[in-house]
């Protein structure tokens, strides 16, 4: 069919353009000059080593002698270079010895930048051409934006399997059931088993959520339909919902299969307060997703998988039973995890024998799978540029630094040795208080690998469901929450921002004790204020403040009293266990993660942290 042909041609064209852009990005244009910081330039100028500086916009080319290779640097935009250098302590005299040529910022000869600038235009032109051809071919789908893009993915059967996702064993275990169902749905249906419709993959960016979703479909050998939440947002009014309808229509026709909605938070954010009022595009799209999910019969063998790194902002309606009620967490990998991911990505790449993958894994706490893939790839590119036949340790080391120092968004993932120490004490503080208090949930493991916004995490799992939480449970939970902050205070004399998430949780707990559960001794069993649940949206919409100023003040002081009391208690506990605090923190710095038994052994002084087995040696080679 001609329609098909044009579509294919269009797709090929896109791929070609993308490949060319990628190629240029990596290899062109020419060899990049060595980059130095502006302060390094300032020092060189001061030492009289610089003869000439070419300024082009914010880019600098620094020459030391006429025949030498220039160094590249950057200055602040819109501020004269001389002023900036002056501000960095360079004397007038040294400056006067440097010839500074300012050139208009141009991209003369930089046709690569030109292509990049024109790319959107080319794409738009391509799109119009595509639509035009389609309408000519007589197909009435010509302008049907509403037709699901999923159509393009029919028969897309990912080749990735669980083997390609390293170090996410718990997640794989949870998803195993889904794979089995997709392989043989009849078996489950015949027994009347209820299989989850929706699985929510939760984790920070780059932890392999998309990869995992594909792996599930690859393992089961079923088609994979995917769409990204952010795509919906850009669409015309009314299109999002019809797209969802089409997507599911296609999926049902091709069942058993997987529908993957990436970045579901883009459409699934909790809906506005406008009751029957503002029905914006996003809201309609979300409603349609819910309608489709609720319409699944027992014979609809479609599993919906969604991914998000912001489960906290999702509309609760999405998380109700029968919707995305299964949650699978993709955490940042720990030491063993990173080692396993390294293995996946160095496969098929020639490594120098001096490459120590264990060491690389140790040096990269905070890296996610995507960082590790990136690290190996950068090292390979570096080695190729240096005309090496193998990737050596030096290239690996350089790439770690590059990625660690890359944009601000990435820098936050990296843990410097000093931070690692602080986080270790912080988490040790939480863990020790958790261990020594009796009424909160027991400690399961403690780790310094960041989870969400917090630096690390002490996982506590309720022994049994707590229908009726006792006052002591709240009190001990508050104490545990304070443990991290107090440990930092004792050891370092100050508190880092890492404790801010804890403080939120603590305040919430203390307020709830007083306002919701009537657990305050002073205020007595009163409900103070009340939350109105919206019957349709099922979300707490408004905090009704139907109490007086005096009550509000009493409430605040009661919350303060509860927290203050626990602060005293936790200070006592941790000061009395200062030695254990050191031991646990040392063990955490070495191991990153301690399970309950390991924690107890270290805490009780039965094992010195230096004698703890090395996690990488525990691994079967
Ligand atoms: P997310 O969807 O969570 O942002 P992706 O699935 O897009 O992350 O991951 C990006 C890339 O990083 C993957 O294509 C893969 O190459 C690599 N990666 C991430 N996690 C892992 C992992 N656990 N094992 C192997 N590779 C991984
Ligand atoms: Mg993704
Ligand atoms: Zn904490």
* Domain co-membership, 191 together with 315: yes
Distance 568 CA to ligand 3 centre (A): 17
pLDDT in tens, 284-311: 888 888 998 888 877 788 999 999 988 8
Predicted pLDDT at 51: 85
| C-alpha closest to that of 158 among 220, 201, 207, 208 | 220
Paired with 56 in beta bridges are 59, 103
Given pLDDT bands bounded at 50, 70 and 90, which one contains residue 5?
Answer: low
Best mean pLDDT range from 164-178, 409-423, 543-557: 164-178
Q: How far is CA 27 from CA 22, 32, 298, 381, 520, in A?
A: 9, 9, 53, 9, 67
> Ligand nearest 496 Cα, by number?
3
* Domain co-membership, 531 together with 586: yes
- What is the Cα–Cα distance from 283 to 503, expressed in whole angstroms? 33
> Ligand nearest 204 Cα, by number?
1
Predicted pLDDT at 432: 95
Here the CATH number for the domain that contains residue 393 is 1.10.8.60
- Please check the confidence at residue 159 and state whether its pLDDT lies above 70: yes
Q: Whose CA is nearest to atom 14 of ligand 1?
A: 211
In contact, 471 and 485? CB cutoff 8 Å: no
Structural domain includes residue 128: no
Q: Which of 206, 210, 336, 364 to mutate to test the pocket of ligand 1 (most atoms within 8 A of CB)?
A: 206
Distance 150 CA to ligand 2 centre (A): 17
Structural domain includes residue 137: no
Vertex 232 angle, CA 228 and 234, to 5°: 115
Predicted pLDDT at 38: 80
Kindly report the average pLDDT of the chain as a whole number: 79
Best mean pLDDT range from 296-305, 513-522, 552-561, 574-583: 574-583
Q: How many domains does the chain have?
A: 4
Element (H, E) at 581: helix 578-591
Q: Which atom of ligand 1 is nearest to the CA of 167?
A: 23
Pocket of ligand 1 (CB under 6 A): 165-168, 203, 205-211, 307, 341, 344, 369-370, 373
Predicted pLDDT at 453: 42
Ranges 366-370, 410-414, 574-578, 592-596: which has the least confidence: 410-414
- Please check the confidence at residue 151 and state whether its pLDDT lies above 50: no
Given pLDDT bands bounded at 50, 70 and 90, which one contains residue 526?
Answer: low
Distance 373 CA to ligand 1 centre (A): 8
Given pLDDT bands bounded at 50, 70 and 90, which one contains residue 503?
Answer: confident
The Cβ of residue 369 has, within 10 Å, a number of other Cβ atoms equal to: 28
Q: Which of 373, 377, 409 to mutate to test the pocket of ligand 1 (most atoms within 8 A of CB)?
A: 373
Given pLDDT bands bounded at 50, 70 and 90, which one contains residue 183?
Answer: very high
Both tokens assigned to 77: 């935009």
| Residue tagged active-site, from 373, 421, 427, 601 | 427
Q: Whose CA is nearest to atom 9 of ligand 1?
A: 208
- What is the Cα–Cα distance from 603 to 587, expressed in whole angstroms? 10
* Domain co-membership, 262 together with 291: yes
* Domain co-membership, 194 together with 286: yes
* Domain co-membership, 211 together with 270: yes
Active site residue 601: no
Distance 209 CA to ligand 2 centre (A): 6
Predicted pLDDT at 536: 45
Q: Which atom of ligand 1 is nearest to the CA of 204?
A: 3
* pTM reported for the whole predicted model: 0.62
Main-chain dihedrals φ then ψ at residue 552, nearest 5 degrees? -60, -40
pLDDT in tens, 262-282: 999 888 877 654 444 445 777
Q: How far is CA 263 from CA 202, 219, 278, 573, in A?
A: 10, 22, 23, 43
Q: Which domain holds residue 293?
A: 151-329
Structural domain includes residue 584: yes
Q: Whose CA is nearest to atom 15 of ligand 1?
A: 370
Predicted pLDDT at 544: 55
Structural domain includes residue 412: no
Among the three residues 329, 356, 380, which one is the final residue of a domain in this structure?
A: 329
Q: Which atom of ligand 1 is nearest to the CA of 203?
A: 3
Predicted pLDDT at 144: 45
> Ligand nearest 503 Cα, by number?
3
User: What order of strands is seen across the sheet that includes strand 71-74?
Assistant: 71-74, 59-63, 52-56, 99-103
Given pLDDT bands bounded at 50, 70 and 90, which one contains residue 403?
Answer: confident
Predicted pLDDT at 498: 66
* Domain co-membership, 85 together with 164: no
Here the CATH number for the domain that contains residue 573 is 1.20.58.760
Given pLDDT bands bounded at 50, 70 and 90, which one contains residue 242?
Answer: confident
Ranges 45-59, 191-205, 422-436, 569-583: which has the least confidence: 45-59
Distance 95 CA to ligand 2 centre (A): 49
Predicted pLDDT at 491: 95
Q: Which atom of ligand 1 is nearest to the CA of 165?
A: 24
Distance 211 CA to ligand 1 centre (A): 5
Distance 164 CA to ligand 1 centre (A): 9
Distance 124 CA to ligand 2 centre (A): 25
* Domain co-membership, 524 together with 561: yes
Main-chain dihedrals φ then ψ at residue 417, nearest 5 degrees? -55, -40
Q: Helix, strand, coil shares of the chain as percentages rounded to 5? A: 55, 10, 35
Query: What's the rounded mean pLDDT across residues 394-412?
Result: 72
- Please check the confidence at residue 463 and state whether its pLDDT lies above 50: no
* Domain co-membership, 427 together with 544: yes
Distance 332 CA to ligand 2 centre (A): 14
* Domain co-membership, 261 together with 357: no
Predicted pLDDT at 380: 95
Q: Which atom of ligand 1 is nearest to the CA of 333?
A: 23
* Domain co-membership, 161 together with 279: yes
Q: Which of 163, 211, 230, 308 to mutate to test the pocket of ligand 1 (most atoms within 8 A of CB)?
A: 211
Q: Which atom of ligand 1 is nearest to the CA of 168?
A: 23
Here the CATH number for the domain that contains residue 44 is 3.30.720.210
Best mean pLDDT range from 175-189, 230-244, 542-556, 576-590: 576-590
Structural domain includes residue 18: yes
* Domain co-membership, 172 together with 276: yes
Predicted pLDDT at 148: 44
Best mean pLDDT range from 33-37, 316-320, 535-539, 569-573: 569-573
Among the three residues 51, 81, 109, which one is the final residue of a domain in this structure?
A: 109
> Ligand nearest 505 Cα, by number?
3
Q: Which atom of ligand 1 is nearest to the CA of 344?
A: 25
pLDDT in tens, 71-90: 888 877 666 777 777 777 77
* Domain co-membership, 459 together with 322: no
The Cβ of residue 397 has, within 10 Å, a number of other Cβ atoms equal to: 15
Q: Which atom of ligand 1 is nearest to the CA of 166?
A: 24
Structural domain includes residue 482: yes
Structural domain includes residue 130: no
Predicted pLDDT at 152: 46
Distance 246 CA to ligand 2 centre (A): 22
Here the CATH number for the domain that contains residue 300 is 3.40.50.300
Q: Whose CA is nearest to atom 12 of ligand 1?
A: 370
Q: Whose CA is nearest to atom 17 of ligand 1?
A: 370
- What is the Cα–Cα distance from 557 to 552, expressed in whole angstroms? 9
Q: Whose CA is nearest to atom 21 of ligand 1?
A: 369
Query: What's the rounded mean pLDDT across residues 127-139?
Result: 58
Predicted pLDDT at 275: 46
Burial of residue 153, with CB atoms counted within 10 A of its CB: 0-12 exposed, 13-18 middle, 19 or more buried: buried
- Please check the confidence at residue 454 and state whether its pLDDT lies above 50: no
Among the three residues 375, 404, 433, which one is the final residue of a domain in this structure?
A: 404
Q: Are strands 71-74 and 257-262 parallel, antiparallel or unpaired?
A: unpaired
Structural domain includes residue 139: no
Distance 507 CA to ligand 3 centre (A): 14
Predicted pLDDT at 162: 95
């Amino acid at each position: 069919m001609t329609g098909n042909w044009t579509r294919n041609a269009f797709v090929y064209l896109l791929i070609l353009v993308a490949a060319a852009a990628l190629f240029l990005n990596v290899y062109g244009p020419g060899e990049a000059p060595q980059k130095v910081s502006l302060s390094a330039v300032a020092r060189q100028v001061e030492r009289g080593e610089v003869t000439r500086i070419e300024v082009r916009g914010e880019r600098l080319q620094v020459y030391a002698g006429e025949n030498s290779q220039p160094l590249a640097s950057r200055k602040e935009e819109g501020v004269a270079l001389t002023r900036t250098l002056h501000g960095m302590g360079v004397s007038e005299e040294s400056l006067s010895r440097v010839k500074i040529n300012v050139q208009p910022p141009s991209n003369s000869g930089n046709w690569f930048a030109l292509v990049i600038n024109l790319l959107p235009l080319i794409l738009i032109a391509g799109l119009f051409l595509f639509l035009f051809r389609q309408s000519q071919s007589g197909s009435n789908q010509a302008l049907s934006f509403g037709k699901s893009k999923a159509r393009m993915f029919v028969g897309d059967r990912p080749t990735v399997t669980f083997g390609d996702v390293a170090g996410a064993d718990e997640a794989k275990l949870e998803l195993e059931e889904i794979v089995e169902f997709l392989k043989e749905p009849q078996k489950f249906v015949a027994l009347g088993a209820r299989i989850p419709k929706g699985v929510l993959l939760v984790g920070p960016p780059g932890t392999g959520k998309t990869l995992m979703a594909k792996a599930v479909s690859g393992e089961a050998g079923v088609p994979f339909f995917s769409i990204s939440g952010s795509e919906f947002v850009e669409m015309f009014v009314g299109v999002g919902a019809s797209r969802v309808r089409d997507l599911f229509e296609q999926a049902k026709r091709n069942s058993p299969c997987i529908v993957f909605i990436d970045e579901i938070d883009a459409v699934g954010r909790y809906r506005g307060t406008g009751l029957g009022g503002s029905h914006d595009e996003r809201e309609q799209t979300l409603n349609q997703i819910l309608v489709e999910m609720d319409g699944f019969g027992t014979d609809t063998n479609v599993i919906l998988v969604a991914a998000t790194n912001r489960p906290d902002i999702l509309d609760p309606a999405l998380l109700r039973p029968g919707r995305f009620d299964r949650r699978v967490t993709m955490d940042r990998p720990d030491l063993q995890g990173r080692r396993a991911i390294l293995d996946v990505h160095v496969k098929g790449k020639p490594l120098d024998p001096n490459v120590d993958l264990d060491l690389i894994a140790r040096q990269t706490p905070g890296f996610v799978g995507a960082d590790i893939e990136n690290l190996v790839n950068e090292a390979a590119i570096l080695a190729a540029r240096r005309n090496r036949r193998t990737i050596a340790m030096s290239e690996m080391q350089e790439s770690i630094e590059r990625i660690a120092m890359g944009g601000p968004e990435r820098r936050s993932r990296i843990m410097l040795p000093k931070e690692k120490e602080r986080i270790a004490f912080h988490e040790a503080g939480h863990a020790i208080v958790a261990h020594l208090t009796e009424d909160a949930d027991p400690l399961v493991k403690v780790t310094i690998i960041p989870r969400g916004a917090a630096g690390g995490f002490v996982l506590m799992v309720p022994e049994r469901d707590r229908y009726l939480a006792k006052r002591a449970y709240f009190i001990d939970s508050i104490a545990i929450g304070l443990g991290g902050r107090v440990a930092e205070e004792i050891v370092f004399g100050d508190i880092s921002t890492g404790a801010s998430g804890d403080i939120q949780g603590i305040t919430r707990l203390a307020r709830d004790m007083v306002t919701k559960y009537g657990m305050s001794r002073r205020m007595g069993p009163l409900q103070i204020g009340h939350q109105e649940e919206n019957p349709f949206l099922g979300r707490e919409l408004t905090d009704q403040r139907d109490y007086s100023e005096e009550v509000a003040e009493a409430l605040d002081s009661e919350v303060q009293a509860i927290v203050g009391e626990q602060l005293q208690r936790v200070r006592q506990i941790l000061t009395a266990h200062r030695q254990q605090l050191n031991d646990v923190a040392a063990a955490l710095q070495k191991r990153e993660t301690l399970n309950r038994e390991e924690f107890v052994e270290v805490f009780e002084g039965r094992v010195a942290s230096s004698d703890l087995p090395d996690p990488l040696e525990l691994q079967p080679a």
